[in-house]
Amino acid sequence: MARCMSLLARLRKRTRPLMSPAFACPTQISSGNRTTGRVPGKAADPTQWIGTAPMLVLAGCSDRQSALHAHGANARRIFDLIWSFGAVAAATWLLVMLLLAAALLRQCPADATRSPLETDPHQERRLACAVTSAVALTVLVLIMLTTASFFAGKSIASLSGTETLTVRITGHQWWWEVRYPKDEPSQAIVTANEIHVPVGEPVKVELDSPDVIHSFWVPNLAGKRDLIPGRPSELTLIADKPGIYRGQCAEFCGYQHAHMAITVVAESREAFDAWQSRQDAAAPAPDGDEGRRGQQAFLSTGCALCHTIRGTHASGTIGPDLTHLASRRALAADTLAMTPGALAAWIADPQSMKPGAKMPRIALSADDLNAVVTYLGSLE
Amino acid sequence: MSGIAGKSAEPQQEALKGVRDTGLEEARLRAFLAHTWRTPKGLYGWLVTVDHKLIGRRYIVTAFLFLILAGLSAVAMRFQLAQSEAGHIGPDLYNQLFTMHGTTMMFLFAVPVMEAFAIYLVPLMIGTRNVAFPRLNAFSYWVYLFGGLMIWVAFAFETGADAGWFSYVPLAGPEYGIGKRPDFWAQMVTYTEVSALAVAVEIIATVFKQRAPGMSLDRIPLYVWSVLVTAFVILFAMPAVMVSSTMLILDRLVGTKFFDPTAGGDALLWQHLFWFFGHPEVYIIFIPATGFVSAILPTFVRRPVFGYLGIVLSLVAIGFLSFGLWVHHMFATGLPQLGESFFTASSLMIAIPSGIQIFCWIATIWGGRPIFATPMLFVLGFIFTFVIGGLTGVMVASVPLDLQVHDTYFVVAHFHYVLVGGAVFPLLGAVYYWFPKISGRMLSERLGRWNFWLVFVGFNLTFFPMHILGLQGMPRRVYTYPPASGWGEMNLFISLSSLVVVAGFALFFLNILLSLRNGRIAGDNPWRASTLEWATTSPPPSYDFSRLPVVTHREPLWAEPDLLPVVEGLRVDAREVLAGTVADAVPQLRVPSADNSIWPLLSAIAVGGAFLGSIYTPWAVVWGAIPVSIGFICWFWPKGEPEDEE
């Protein structure tokens, strides 16, 4: 049958050079260490424009997306709740198991002649007392837990309204559009799959989706909130430690639900302001033959139909804004690390990296491909 | 005792010329009844039978076949997830696999298998000869079978449902649903709902009206209580999902806009409708499983269940409360604070009746002397795992906590503890317990122990780590994860552990196959149990009981260990059952019971064809109505029997 054949076909092993930067070890930022000024036209050197990203300090890798490593007020309240509920649950379970073990191991006088219907009325009364007290205890514990949950919820809700910054996030199949609104709508900063927030300041995250339901979830900072078409919602985020946190879409949204991650960079106010002002600028004109050839190829082969690069006439809105692509840490919603090699591989064949993604494969000559990579690599 | 039925039947004595069983010698009586209640031999007999035992058995076997399919999809998923960024299974197939796994487990295995046991056991446990509406029973099986086959055949042709077992819109809607995949899903749901509703109606009517004389409400076995409550939950929950799946298919097929926010519809409406069914669904699976526990436990601790009334009231309370929890699947969609608190409270409240049951069972064990046979092991395994599932359920009932663990592996762990620990363990225990009754042979205890320990240990090794994985941030329904996430080792461990569960289930099926042929002959009551099904032969004859029993005690076979009192006065030349009052089961009437018929099958084919056709064109409903009407008209055509004329 068709299914069996295709199953067999898929059972061959494929390996892909994938790497998820927000999970990858370099994590904590020490702000202000940013190297500027770079030699144009040498983007093919992988260390070059990666080196221009903020200096990073090595830290644990697997706690970048974990509810157990709370680095924000919301997540910490929930973390406390997880522990208290967890402890009560563990104690309850242990107690029930002890009771069960005691009941099983109790030495009852074996009496083969006794009918199973002959029960000891005294024992029945004692059992009734025991069951009643156990139920009463259950009710008491449940009331305590409900109260704890209610107050945690209230304290989380109390954060909203104190925000100093708004980020507007739109979920797309399968990437995140990020906007920092300004008074003049056309001045808004537009980027994708990476948000920057100042440490210690509550940030209002406005959520919406034009296609299917997604869910915005950065477990180190806060619980999740769904993005439901036609029902804009919001969430308050606060990070109280500089760092890079990874979030991931938590509501099944189709083929590439697994590759729909977002990076949250929490940094000092100064570093954040500096980032904002860099993002404000339009893309610089390419300064080198290779870069110019890349821009030309980008604008003439269809890339511009879907992507915007401010400062050029590329103004498509289907895919992510690429004005400052090279300043981001990852490609394709954290599917690949931002390296020239990965970028080239992604442009050459997006469907093998992220099957089902909306980005088509565009036929480019090898030279054009390299040029486009050089050009995009210069967009910091 | 012959007087009870005889008295009420007396006025009709003149009109009915049929032979009665009064005073009939046992061998002749059995010969008469065997002829009257027979199922013809061969394929034709297989297609026309309305015997609740044959249909129940068939239902059970079919449900377990679907369990195997759903289990194999889970193994395939674990194969893919064993390593990060593995390329064995791509997103397209993976999404179909987890959708088929969930859909099959919920709609084609768990609910039907619970109904199947009810169909088989209820008439035996309450002392009657068939369910009420036997032909509806046959019809429900065929509809279920066609629904299940349809969605799996569609899967074989690359049209497997892939939007999750919950099929959220807009992902499953007209714009984003891929090809005909969501339509097959929606129609499969319609099929299985029709069959579930049919069974619910049968069970309610059977339990209310056909109990053996003397089986007043407070003498109904706890298992029967549990399926009765379940039947009511089905009756109120299933229409919600039938409505929503119909709205979905209308959105997709004829362009209605129920769920389209740009046209005044609402994507969230789907979730409310779906979970208004979806949460009771969990209890539709879980409540009968508690019934299994309440049936198995007393036999193996040699005393009646402690707190009969408390358990019955708990079952009824769970049935009611199960309708107040649906929103806890939707906390992340954002609700007003007051609403959140209400649903947190109601979700926590259901822990009370569940707790009462657990405490009553432990008290039962305390007051008895446990015998560690395989069914009992499964009951103990059930308590061990289900309490974990219940407690993590208390955790996810808290709104803020749920916002961290919702849609992560924590929830995957939680509901597998509830559904596998809470329902599948008792189910396996039930198979070991009633297999002797169904087949006449015992299952091997040695294989049974291996089976239990492999499944129990394998299950906990597989699913417990998922709690941690979820807290560490791994979301559900992802076909892969990055190497740097640090989830790789635990996933590998889980995948390897799942093989232990597979080995356990392989032993289970092996045990059944071997024991069907070579098992020790069971005898009527191998466990020395107390309920009526053990009063007849193993396997039971087509007429269940040669004379219908009279019940004088809640544990009839313990109270009357030597000989049960019986009813006399029923016809033996025509299918008849006894109908009594709802509360006290005082016999009122002898009611004819439907004979074999091919029309339930033909009607099911007609209904199935109409549903299948409606995936492609709305006109199928119009044209399909013609064969469906013909089927139903022939099914109910009066036969000119005496009672038709009275």
Q: What is the per-residue pLDDT for B334?
A: 83
Which of B307, B406, B482 lies nearest to residue A224, judging by beta carbons?
A: B406
Angstrom distance (rounded) from CA A23 to CA B382 = 39
Q: Residue B77: how many CA atoms within 13 Å on its side-chain side?
A: 23
Work out the percent of chain A whose per-residue pLDDT is above 90.
Answer: 45
Can you give the pLDDT at residue B539? 93
What's the Cα-to-Cα distance from A288 to each of A297, A378, B309, rounded to whole Å? Answer: 14, 10, 86
Contacts of B611 (CB under 8 A, 6+ apart): B147, B187, B190, B191, B624
Maximum CA pair distance of chain A?
Answer: 101
Question: How many alpha carbons lie under 13 Å from residue B187 in its C-beta half-sphere?
Answer: 31
Q: What is the pLDDT of residue B338?
A: 74
Decide which of A14 and B600 is more confident: B600
CA nearest to A260 within chain B: B478
User: Cβ contact (<8 Å) for B268 and A231?
Assistant: yes
Question: What pLDDT sits at residue B17?
Answer: 53
User: Does the distance separating the beta carbons of A99 and B482 come in below 8 Å?
Assistant: no
- Contact criterion met (CB < 8 Å) for B95 and A211: no
From B158, B362, B558, residue closest to A100, measured CB to CB: B362
pLDDT in the model for residue B477:
94
pLDDT of the residue at B561: 82
What's the pLDDT at A362?
Answer: 85
For residue B640, what are the contacts with CB-CB under 8 A and spacing of at least 6? none
Pick the residue from chain A with its C-alpha nearest to B554.
A117
At residue A41, the pLDDT reads: 39
DSSP 8-state class, residue B534 = G
Nearest CA in chain B to A74: B400
DSSP-derived secondary structure letter, B441: B
The tens digit of pLDDT for each residue in A150-185 reads 899 888 888 888 888 999 999 999 999 999 998 887
**Which token pair is B458?**
């394998």
Q: Do A66 and B473 touch (CB under 8 A)?
A: yes
**Cβ contact (<8 Å) for A3 and B155?**
yes
Which one of B169, B176, B350, B366 would you mutate to disrupt binding with A, by most A Cβ within 10 Å of its Cβ? B366
Give the residue on B whose Cα is nearest the Cα of A67. Answer: B471
Which of A251, A256, A259, A264 would best serve as a mutation to test chain B binding (most B beta carbons within 10 A)? A251
A258 contacts in chain B (CB < 8 Å): 91, 478-481
Residue in B114, B141, B113, B149 with CA at minimum distance from that of residue B52:
B141
Contact B524, B538 (CB under 8 A): yes
Identify all chain A residues contacting B360, using CB atoms and an 8 Å cutoff: 131
Model pTM score: 0.90
Burial class (CB in 10 A: 0-12, 13-18, 19+), B541: middle
Q: How far is A265 from chain B, CA to nearest CA, in Å?
A: 17
Q: What is the pLDDT of residue B336?
A: 78
H helix or E strand, kind and range, residue B576: strand B576-580
Among B90, B368, B486, select the one facing A62 at the smallest CB separation: B486
Question: Best interface-test mutation with B: which of A25, A65, A83 has the largest number of B CBs within 10 A?
Answer: A65
Contacts of A156 in chain B (CB under 8 A): 400
* pLDDT band of A207, cuts 50, 70, 90: very high
Task: Tell me what pLDDT residue B335 has.
Answer: 77
Mean pLDDT by 10 residues, chain B (646 residues): 39 51 86 91 93 95 96 95 91 94 95 96 95 95 94 92 91 89 91 93 96 94 96 94 90 91 90 93 95 96 93 95 89 81 85 94 92 95 95 92 94 96 96 96 95 97 95 93 90 96 96 94 93 94 93 92 86 90 92 92 94 90 94 86 51
Between these two residues, A322 and B1, which has the higher pLDDT value? A322
Indicate the residue of A23, A117, A254 with minimum beta-carbon distance to B304.
Answer: A117
What is the per-residue pLDDT across A76-135, written as a single tens digit (0 to 9) for each?
Answer: 999 999 999 999 999 999 999 999 999 999 876 666 677 888 888 888 999 999 999 999
Contact criterion met (CB < 8 Å) for B170 and A68: no
Chain A residues lying within 8 Å of B156, measured CB to CB: 1-4
List the beta bridge partners of residue A206. A168, A234
Cβ contact B561–A61 (<8 Å): no
Name the residue in chain A with its Cα closest to that of B177.
Answer: A254
SS3 track for chain A: CHHHHHHHHHCCCCCCCCCCCCCCCEEEECCCCCCCCCCCCCCCCHHHHHCCCCCEEECCCCCCCCCCCCCCHHHHHHHHHHHHHHHHHHHHHHHHHHHHHHHHHCCCCCCCCCCCCCCCHHHHHHHHHHHHHHHHHHHHHHHHHHHHHHHHHHHHHCCCCCCCEEEEEEEECCEEEEEECCCCHHHCEEEECEEEEECCCCEEEEEECCCCCEEECCCCCCCCEEEECCECEEEEECCCCCEEEEEECCCCCCCCHHHCEEEEEEECHHHHHHHHHHHHCCCCCCCCHHHHHHHHHHHHCCHHHHCECECECCECCCCCCCCCHHHCCEECCCCEECCHHHHHHHHHCHHHHCCCCCCCCCCCCHHHHHHHHHHHHCCC
Give me the phi and psi of A363, to 5 degrees please. Answer: -70, 115
Burial of B464 (0-12, 13-18, 19+ CB in 10 A): middle
Q: Which residues in chain B touch residue A25, judged by CB atoms under 8 angstroms apart?
A: 484
Q: Using the structure block, give the residue that is written with the tokens 């013909």.
A: B630
- Provide the pLDDT confidence category of residue A23 given band limits of 50, 70 and 90: low
Q: Give the pLDDT of residue B53.
A: 95
* Residue in A with minimal Cα distance to B93: A7
> What confidence score (pLDDT) does residue B14 get?
40
Instruction: Return the structure tokens found at B143.
Output: 């509809």
pLDDT confidence tier of residue A63, bands split at 50, 70 and 90: confident
Confidence of residue A302 (pLDDT cuts 50, 70, 90): confident
Q: Which of A18, A146, A255 sits opposite B345 (nearest CB)?
A: A146
* Residues of B whose CB is below 8 A from A152: 398, 400-401
Structure token digits, residue A97:
């198991």
Q: Across the interface, which of A20, A131, A149 has its CB nearest the CB of B399?
A: A149
Report the 10 Å Cβ neighbour count for B346: 18
pLDDT digits (tens, 9 = 90+) for A29-40: 444 333 333 333
Partner residues linked to A204 by β-bridges: A166, A236
Q: Which chain B residues have a beta carbon less than 8 Å from that of A153?
A: 337, 340-341, 399-400
- Alpha-carbon distance of B382 to B290, in angstroms, equals 10
pLDDT exceeds 90 at position A62: no
